[in-house]
Structures are given as structure tokens and as C-alpha cells.
Structure 1
Amino acid sequence: MKLLDIRNLNIELLTNDDRIRAVESANFSMKEGEVSALIGESGSGKSLIAKALVGVLNNRWEVTADRLHFMGEDLNRKSDKERRKIISRDVSMIYQEPRRCLDPTANIFSQLEESLPDREFSGWFGSRKSQRVKLCSNLLHKVGVKDHRAIFESYPHMLSEGVCQKIMIAMAIAKEPKLLIADEPTTALESTTSLQVIKLLKSLNQLKDMAVIFITHNLNTITSWADTINVMYCGQLIESGKTQKILSAPMHPYTKALFDSEPDFKSGDIDKKERLYTLKGTIPTLQHLPAGCRLGPRCPNAQKACVKMPEQRKVRGQQFRCHYPLQELTK
């Protein structure tokens, strides 16, 4: 059984004058215990998909989907209350801006304590309190916070962005969810702590069979342990498939451009003043999308047929939207 199965997901921003479609016809699925990477430029719609799944978008956004299944449950047929119960029990999310997500009026211990599931505690009231303190301190130690006593009594505005991010990660993993959505979880962290967090998520994935959707710009962070990769551009999922297949033989020109733009320091052949590869042009705004293929004006392989929107195709397990996939062009 699939853990998550989304078909034809559309997310629109409702304005006074028009509807702006930020995500269009996205298909996304994953199995239990799978690690799936969601990559692409800023503004491509990665975080919107995550927020739509957990239901935190406000009334300015309209979310529709032909299918929205989680653990066999059809979320489209659930009431708001039933959907929130399922999501709060089995899904956690690490947000990009942790300080804005933490309660400024409550200290860190009370917020950590609130994130703990009730099933973890037993015995009389006094013993439960000591159990909560121990679990909260263990969570902070896991994410690299050593002085938990000082953090417990602190408020979000008293802490750095990096420490707030660690606290958000601790709160997200507290209930050992079936699915963890990590939206740029290591951006505000120093390199050593970033590695520690990645190792922690890896161990939770392997030992607890916790599925992970990892949203990131840093391809080197995720490609070594993601099972699948999903590439977004201008609100569309333009390529999806097994990690090794996409790394070795990408079908879409944009996917190849993303990987080519990452310097390969292991090869040792990079000149200090050598320019990194980039696509010409800039990503268009959602209000002024090009006709046909979204990448058309920037694509090095664009041809006459690209003025029409490419349909989603599937070749050897890889799904992509392109009239002239790279592996056919090189044959």
C-alpha cells in the first residue's frame, strides 16, 4: 500500500483580480519508509505542496486534487476535523522559518512538552512530569543542543535562528511520525550540526521506518540517501523517478542543468576561477508564464513543438514533461 498518493494537485492563489495557479497538475506518490527529494529553484512550488498536504495554507489559497490519499485514507472525503486528526497523528513538518512558527509567548519547554504524544507516559502525575523533562532533554540532545536547561526557560526571541531550527526539528520527530516533511531543515545550521541532523533523519528512516519528504536546494545533501527525486519548475513537477536513474540519465533538460550547476569537488578538476554552469535567462513569474513548455525560453534544446504544453510521459520508470527528452536526443 502506498503511504501517499496525490493525483492532479492544483494550488491557486485567489486575488481580487484573478486566480494565480502556483502548482499545476502535480502527481506525487511514495511508499512507507521511502525518502523522496523535492528539488527546484525558489518559488517553484515545493513548499506549497508540503503546506497543502498538512493543511496550513490560509483562505487565500484554493487546493484541489483528483486524488489525495494518505495511508489508504481519502483525505478529500474527510471533514476538516477528521483530516486534522489524521495529519496531526501521523505527519510532522519542519518549516523553513522556525522562529515564525514557534509561539513567542511560551517558553521552549512548554512547546516541546506539548509536542510529546500521550502514549509515551505512564504512572502518577509526578512521575509523568519527570518523564516529560527527560524526553524533552533527550530530544534536544539528539539535534545538537547540549545545555537543555538554559533552553527550556528561554523564549524564541532569545535564541538564534539555528537553535530555533534545532528545536523545530526536535518537535517534529517527537511523536515519531509515519511521514516527516523537512522543508530546508539544515539551512540555518552550521555544517557540523547539519551533518548530525541528516544522520538523525537517516537513522529514524531506517530504524523507525519513517518516510521523509526532503525539500532542498543542496543536491549533495540528499542525492546520497534519497530513494526518489522529484524536480519542480514554475509550479510543475517536470521529472520524477528513482534517484540513480535520474542522476545517471536525466530526461528533462532542466534536471540536467540543475546537476551540472553543482560543482564536483571530488573530481579535483575545477579551476578556482572557473564559471559554474547556468541556464540563460531567469525563472518567469507565475503571472507571466510562457506559452507551452515552461522552460521553453531558457531551454538549450527548444524547438518549434515547444510552444505547446508537453504531456506527462513515462519511460523506463521515469516520469517527465518534455517534447524532446535528452536520452532520445542522444540516441
Structure 2
Amino acid sequence: MQLLDIKNLTIELTTPDGLIRAVDRVSLSMREGETRGLVGESGSGKSLIAKAIVGVLNKRWRVTADSFGWRGQELSNLPYEQQRKIIGRDVAMIYQEPSKSLDPTAAILDQLEEAIPDHRLEGPWWKRSYMRRRRAIALLHKVGIRDHQSVMQSYPYQLSEGICQKTMIAMAIAKDPKLLIADEPTTALETTTQAQLFRLLASFNQLKGMSILLISHELELIARYTQSLSVLYCGQLVEAGETASIIKQPYHPYTHALIKSVPGFQPNLPPKTPLYALPGSIPVFQHLPIGCRLGPRCPNARKECVKTPALERLHNHYYSCHFPLIGNKAP
């Protein structure tokens, strides 16, 4: 069953210089039980898309979409309060920098208990406090925190980033969401802790059937734990499809460059060989190129690229490029 289906999501930011289109007609869909990766450089609009899905919006943002489907229901036709109720019940998000996302003035126990909805507690009302605490302890154990007594009595600044991140995950899964969005969940964490967190998220998908949207700029990690992949560049969707298919044969020059820049995807690369990189750098939002935003950096760019390419489909592989790398040897 289709869980999430967004068509042509556009996010415009109000600035002193006028409106800036930070996300340009991006489409995103997920099936129930699917793990999808959302990959792109910093500033590509990944976090904006995640916040638009959960409804965490700024007054200076103008968010539009042709359709916003959730489990077969068109949410854009519903009143705003009803939209919030549905998304708040079924979608949870893990934010970047957990130590800053947690309330520094409240103990972990208080924050975790607040995240547990009443309908998740069974039994008479006079036992609610006891059951809420037991549920909080069970959630901490579920995310791999064994010394729950010490953690629950602590404040966020007294804990490591890894423990704070696990606490954020425990708060996110407290309501058993249908979709869990993890926005750069391993930022500033050690490699071993990163692997633990990704395995933890993978276990939620495999054991509970929870759909997960993994957002990161680290393609190698995302490719290891996802079934499907969407690649963003500067607010535009450039490629989407099954992860294994994209890694094996990318159709877009930007995706190809990302793969070539990862040593793990280049087993025959001689030692000390410089990694591949596109020339130039990602443009700032105030000076976005017209048409395909990769144009000034793309090795295949031609005059046709001043027009925004349409999203094309080949089997279950989507790409947005006038000159895709289909049947051609990539540069």
C-alpha cells in the first residue's frame, strides 16, 4: 500500500531580495514498510522537505504541492487542524543535533514521558503514572540504553551525543509511528555509534514494519540500509529508484559523481588516486542557475540545459536530465 505520495512539492523562502525557490517541484513517494534514502549536499533542501512533511513550518516559507497523499487520503483537501492530527499521530521525526533539540531545562524522564501518548497505556487511570514510567524504561531499553536510571535522571547537557540521539529515537518511536523520518541522525557521532544507530533503525523496519526516511549526505551509509533512493541537488530531484539499481547504473551526472567520489564504490581504485569531484561548488540560493541547477558544473551540459528537464521514467528508475547516462559511457 502507498504510504506517502507527494507530487511537485515546492518550498519558497521570503527574503529581502524576494522569493527564493529552495525546493523546486520535488516528488516523493513511499510504500508501507519501505526504507528510502534522501541524499544530497548540505543546502540541497533535504531538511526543508522533512519539515514540510511533518508540518514544522516557518511563517516565511511558502509551501505548495499538487497533491499530498497519506495512506490513500488527500490531505490537502482537509482542514489544517485535521492534517496536523493525522501527521502528528502517524509520523515522527528525529532531528539533527539531538543535544540541541532536547529541552535543556527538563530531565530526560520528563521529556520521554511527555512523548508517550495516553492511548499507548493500558490499565486503569490511577496507574497511568506507573505505566508511563514503565513504558519510558522499556523504550530506553529498546534503543540500547541499559543504564536507564542514570539516563532518566540526567539533563541533555550531561549526556553524550550518542545517548542523546538514542533518547530522541526513543521519543520518536513512543507513539509507534507509521513513518519515521531521520534527519542526519549520525551527525557528529563516532563511526561505531553511527553503525549502531543505523542497525537500530533497520531493526524497527524489519521487526515492526515501520517505514523510514533516512536523510543524509553520506551516500555509502544510506545505500547500505535503504531499499530505494532519492537524490537531490540544489532543491531539485535529479534521480530516484531502487538503491541497488542506482548504484549500479546511475542515469544522472550528479549521481554518477557522488558514486565515483566514494572509495567504497570503487574497489579497483589504485591507492592514493585522487577521488572524482565535479568542478565548482553548489550555488547559493540567491544566485541559482536557470533550468537545470547542475548546469554550470555538469560535464555534459549543453544549451538545452537552460530549460528545467522533466522527470522521466525508465521502468522503476526516475531521472531528470536532458542527456542521461543511458547506454553511454559515463565520463
Query: TM-score, structure 1 length as denominator?
Result: 0.93
Distance in 2 separating the partners of 1:148 and 1:207? 23
Distance in 1 separating the partners of 2:184 and 2:26? 20
Q: Which residue of 2 aligns with 1:297?
A: 296
CA contact (8 A) 1:140 1:167 kept: yes
Question: CA deviation digits over 1:129-181, x for unaligned, max 9?
Answer: 33322221222233333322122122223333332222111111122110000
CA contact (8 A) 2:231 2:237 kept: yes
Question: CA deviation digits over 1:160-210, x for unaligned, max 9?
Answer: 333222211111112211000011112233333322222221121122111
Q: Which residue of 2 aligns with 1:324?
A: 323
Distance in 1 separating the partners of 2:73 and 2:139? 30
Distance in 1 separating the partners of 2:236 and 2:48? 12
Structure 1 position 330, deviation (Å): 3.5
CA contact (8 A) 1:310 1:321 kept: yes
Distance in 1 separating the partners of 2:320 and 2:36? 19
Q: What amino acid is the match of 1:23?
A: V
Change in Cα spacing, 1:253 to 1:268, as seen in structure 2 (3 Å) is: closer
Q: Which residue of 2 aligns with 1:11?
A: 11
Distance in 1 separating the partners of 2:189 and 2:292? 37
SS of 2:289's equivalent? coil
Q: 1:169-184 residue pairs with structure 2 within 5 A?
A: 169-184=169-184
Distance in 2 separating the partners of 1:195 and 1:142? 16
Q: What amino acid is the match of 1:315?
A: L
Q: Percent identity?
A: 55
SS of 1:42's equivalent? coil
Q: Which residue of 2 aligns with 1:145?
A: 145
Q: Which residue of 2 aligns with 1:34?
A: 34
Q: Which residue of 2 aligns with 1:163?
A: 163
Q: What amino acid is the match of 2:189?
A: L
CA contact (8 A) 1:98 1:168 kept: yes
Q: Which residue of 1 aligns with 2:187?
A: 187
Query: Unaligned 5+ residue runs, structure 2?
Result: none
Structure 1 position 123, deviation (Å): 2.6
Distance in 2 separating the partners of 1:265 and 1:307? 31
Change in Cα spacing, 1:255 to 1:265, as seen in structure 2 (3 Å) is: closer
The yes-or-no answer on 1:85 pairing with 2:46 is no
SS of 1:3's equivalent? strand
Distance in 1 separating the partners of 2:303 and 2:268? 40
CA contact (8 A) 1:92 1:173 kept: yes
SS of 2:225's equivalent? coil
Q: 1:221-240 residue pairs with structure 2 within 5 A?
A: 221-240=221-240
SS of 2:154's equivalent? coil
C-alpha RMSD of matched pairs (Å):
1.9
CA contact (8 A) 1:264 1:270 kept: no
Q: What amino acid is the match of 1:4?
A: L
The yes-or-no answer on 1:129 pairing with 2:133 is no
How many residues are matched?
330
SS of 1:245's equivalent? helix
Structure 1 position 255, deviation (Å): 0.3
SS of 1:119's equivalent? helix
The yes-or-no answer on 1:62 pairing with 2:87 is no
Change in Cα spacing, 1:205 to 1:325, as seen in structure 2 (3 Å) is: same
The yes-or-no answer on 1:310 pairing with 2:291 is no
Query: Unaligned 5+ residue runs, structure 1?
Result: none
Q: What amino acid is the match of 1:330?
A: K
Distance in 2 separating the partners of 1:240 and 1:14? 29
Structure 1 position 310, deviation (Å): 1.5
Please say which of residues 70-79 and 232-241 is displaced more in the overlay. 70-79
Distance in 1 separating the partners of 2:38 and 2:23? 14
Change in Cα spacing, 1:290 to 1:6, as seen in structure 2 (3 Å) is: same
Distance in 1 separating the partners of 2:154 and 2:266? 42
CA contact (8 A) 1:98 1:165 kept: yes
SS of 2:137's equivalent? helix
Change in Cα spacing, 1:34 to 1:79, as seen in structure 2 (3 Å) is: same
